[in-house]
Amino acid sequence: MKIRWNPFLPGAYLCALAAFSCLLCSSGAAQAQRLPANVVPSHYALSFTPDLQAATFAGSETIDINIKQPTNAITLNAIEIKFQSVEIRDSNGLAQSGAVSLDSQKQQATLTFAQTVAAGSATLRIQFTGILNNELRGFYLSKTARRNYAVTQFESTDARRAFPCFDEPAMKATFDISLTIDRGDTAISNSAVASDTPGPGADKHTVKFAPTPKMSTYLVAFVVGDFQCTRGEQDGVALRVCATPGKLALTSYALGVAKFALHYYDNYFGIHFPLKKLDFIGIPDFEAGAMENFGAITFRETDLLLDPKTASFAAKRNATLAIVHEMAHQWFGDLVTMQWWDNIWLNEGFATWMETKCTDAMHPEWNIPQFVAADEQQTLDIDALPTTRAIRAEADTPEEIDQMFDPIAYGKAGAVLLMVENYLGKETFRQGVHAYLTAHEYGNATAEDFWNAQTAVSHKPVDKIMDSLVEQPGEPILDFGVPAAGHVSVTQSRFFLSPSIQPDPAQKWTLPICFKTAGVGKSCELLTPSSTSLTTPADSLFFANAGGTGYYRSAYAPAQYKALVAQVETGLTPSERISLAGDEWAQVRANKATVGDYLNLVAALKADPNADVLSSATGNVGTIADRVAATRQERDALDAWVRSTFGPQYAKLSPPQAGDSPNAVELRAELFALLGNHGDPKVLAQAQSLAARYLADPTSVNPTLAQAALGIAAFHGDAALFDKLQNLYETSNDPDVKEQALRDLVLFTNPALLDRALNYAASGKVRNQDAAIELAIGLAVPENRDQTWNFIKTHWPAVQAQFTTEMGAMVVGSTGSFCSAEARDDVRNFFASHPVAASDASLRHAIERINGCIELRSLQEPNLKKWLDAQSK
């Protein structure tokens, strides 16, 4: 699954949207939600007849099971399902019907039989009915202006909303799926269509799909509607990209990505794609970004469908990463699946790491390693909060399992795998992946299986490294002494952003530390819990995170840091510059450096030719303006400094041209947005004129620059611009264009227009998948924060009606953007009396962020004032 927690906001706001896990939930009672081990399914024959008008479905299933001990009761998972009849035939040929008792709290049904069912193979037949819900999970209804669709989303624990099943990842089985649907409609499922026959009845037809391979229930998928597809083929696999009508022109980009990635993965994994076909389906209503159902990947439309002529670079990169992320899961997750949800990080960390590796191979000109380095800074900041969790944590209830899909499972786990690959070498690591997948194909495995395979292949202590990173919460900071005579002293401790938290001195890691060298690039040493010094290369410049791929913070002695700043543009690669800036920002947060030190480093990077370096370093300037500056004068002075520092850099860029590299396009847009956001009047005028040109003819302006211009224009915009953007959202057929326009509505700072945007978000006219994101953006934009929060409080019933589970928690988490004790208490009190489902962890995290901001401001605001005064002199 690809979660969408951050694509809408500047990096500094990312953590506002990250849901955080509950680690304190008692596992004793939760453990009871696991199914008994006495019954193991091997095959399901499933038939569904959905009624898209009534939003209901009828289903029947036959499950082949193996019973270990004779029993009178069988427990499986079901919720929102009405059982019509239950029958079992056991290994002695005894057939009998059963009674059903439901436990909605455990989401289980227990089937009881008057006569004891014998051990051995048995067949369970169940007739049932259910609802096509509007919760974006289970078997659910998605709508367009024209019609209804019936679609599925089962990860993590929602297959049980569509059919009674043994809904645990290790209970793998094969599936025969059959759908009886309206004449004229099509159906897509995991396997290819085996037969399509008229009836029953004159206006129906029945589509039967070929048997699936052995797989987990959460990977089953089926969709019904009038989807239209573009077809292709790669390495003997039939590929289709499908969407609701009118969007075929937006499917060819994804098909090209899929063809590249299928071939790339066939080679990388050394295992041919295990199915005959692979479909990619854009769903109008979809909570996550995308879902890796075996052979039938489903997507939020923006993550699949785009027009390469008018899509921004960020939109293309986002869709490409999502597509290849889900394709990586076909092997790593679908073919080999985690034994239980506590190891979901291995799935998601692997796909997060692999999506960037595959995209980098497809588009070396996109500078993906820098993008990864910048992303890692965000993850390190989140992991330096006391509420972070260990990568592997217990999760037993559906609510606990859902909360495992967080930046730790994705970003941190991905960063750990990147570090290990960097240490072992690409080919050795690949062989470890191949060995792991081959040993467990069509089965389940644990994290130990993975790192033991890597340890066996590499003969290096991968088990110790991964164990120390996976089982312990938080991240290390390495304090380096002055390197001398080929050695450097080092002490490691857990790093917290807040200076008031003291780390436990017993917490230590085993880590590969790679020093930068002029010749071969890097020299890696293993740091163990007892290490006090490491061998260093004989190099004039001392940098302890070569390539920026190590998952740790570094702190240098003053002379070494000074030398790094002096040579930042000549001595370090772009990824290393991003890493250095991130480390320095962490030092500011920990009160070991001042905001002035950080801004001096930003000034040293002002002419950086790399867009990712610039955006990563200047993202924290926005944070300083929002969370450190306490007065209008300070913000004005900081704005003036940004304009005088970066204005000349922007002026030096040559005019945009058709053949500009993605970096050139991004760099221009970054500088443009930076100056526009810090009040440059010339850029504002340009933004208004570019926005007008774009709205008149979207092909007339570079799309990446156009998006930056629209944001700035909206910020200062009037009702006429608001109307145009709202109209674009309502009339465009391009999901990417729609989403951008909707996002811009909530950037208007004119209070009457912001009020219109907020009312619109809560009106029911905006899809549930988007409405909460609007509110989250409103809370993230400093100028719109108070009004958005007041709106949420005063329109609570309408606001809450827009929430799906994940989206409600996102809004709660976004209140962490406040920075005062009054606002903190207000947030806490409001949600105490207006509870939001599955959001306790998000609320704790938000409160922690507010407290962190109060502390940061009190420590650093005097430093900012002093530094700004010095600049003006």
Please give the positions annotated as active site. 326
Minimum CB distance to Zn ion, residue 416 (Å)? 16
Q: Give ∠ CA 368-373-375 in degrees, rounded to 5.
A: 95
Of 155 and 307, nearer to Zn ion (C-beta) is: 155
# residues near Zn ion by CB under 5 A? 3
Q: Give ∠ CA 760-762-766 in degrees, rounded to 5.
A: 65
Q: What are the respective helix, strand and coil percentages of the chain, to the nearest 5?
A: 50, 20, 30
Of 1 and 868, nearer to Zn ion (C-beta) is: 1
| Amino acid identity, position 742 | L
| Segment holding 573, helix H or strand E | none
Of 348 and 680, nearer to Zn ion (C-beta) is: 348
From 97-105, 122-130, 234-242, 346-354, give the range in contact with Zn ion by CB under 5 A. Answer: 346-354
From 101-109, 159-167, 239-247, 342-350, give the range in contact with Zn ion by CB under 5 A. Answer: 342-350
| Amino acid identity, position 856 | L
Minimum CB distance to Zn ion, residue 331 (Å)? 12
Interactions with Zn ion, residue window 350-379 (CB under 5 A): 351
Judge residue 512's burial from the number of C-beta atoms within 10 Å of its C-beta, 0-12 exposed, 13-18 middle, 19 or more buried: buried
For residues 747 and 783, give the distance between their C-alpha atoms in angstroms, rounded to a whole number: 9
Minimum CB distance to Zn ion, residue 739 (Å)? 21
The span from the first CA to the last CA of the chain, in angstroms, equals: 53
Minimum CB distance to Zn ion, residue 584 (Å)? 32
From 137-145, 303-311, 349-357, 698-706, give the range in contact with Zn ion by CB under 5 A. Answer: 349-357
Minimum CB distance to Zn ion, residue 620 (Å)? 28
799 binds Zn ion (CB under 5 A): no
Contact predicate 574/613, CB 8 Å: yes
Tokens 């009054």, residue located: 822
Minimum CB distance to Zn ion, residue 212 (Å)? 20
Of 1 and 165, nearer to Zn ion (C-beta) is: 1
Contact predicate 690/709, CB 8 Å: yes
Judge residue 795's burial from the number of C-beta atoms within 10 Å of its C-beta, 0-12 exposed, 13-18 middle, 19 or more buried: middle
For residues 64 and 664, give the distance between their C-alpha atoms in angstroms, rounded to a whole number: 59
Q: Is the peptide bond before 26 cis (omega within 30 degrees of 0)?
A: no
Q: Going residue by residue from 289 to 328, which x/- string records binding to Zn ion, judged by CB under 5 A?
A: ----------------------------------------
Contact predicate 94/123, CB 8 Å: no
Q: Is the peptide bond before 200 cis (omega within 30 degrees of 0)?
A: yes
Of 379 and 615, nearer to Zn ion (C-beta) is: 379
Helical H runs in 653-718? 662-677, 681-696, 703-715
For residues 866 and 21, give the distance between their C-alpha atoms in angstroms, rounded to a whole number: 39
Of 352 and 616, nearer to Zn ion (C-beta) is: 352
| Segment holding 788, helix H or strand E | helix 785-794
Of 348 and 736, nearer to Zn ion (C-beta) is: 348
Minimum CB distance to Zn ion, residue 291 (Å)? 8
Q: In Å, how far are 402, 475, 489, 579 from 481, measured between CA atoms?
A: 43, 20, 5, 19
Minimum CB distance to Zn ion, residue 5 (Å)? 13
Minimum CB distance to Zn ion, residue 4 (Å)? 12
Of 1 and 856, nearer to Zn ion (C-beta) is: 1
From 176-184, 340-348, 475-483, 550-558, give the range in contact with Zn ion by CB under 5 A. Answer: 340-348
From 345-353, 393-401, 586-594, 827-835, give the range in contact with Zn ion by CB under 5 A. Answer: 345-353
From 315-323, 341-349, 643-651, 827-835, give the range in contact with Zn ion by CB under 5 A. Answer: 341-349
Structure tokens at 152: 């599925």
Q: What are residue 520's phi and psi, to 5 degrees? A: -80, -5
1 binds Zn ion (CB under 5 A): yes
DSSP string, 192-238: -EEEEEE-SSTTEEEEEEPPP-SB-GGG--EEEE--EEEEEEETTEE
Of 289 and 619, nearer to Zn ion (C-beta) is: 289
Site of interaction with Zn ion (CB under 5 A): 1, 348, 351
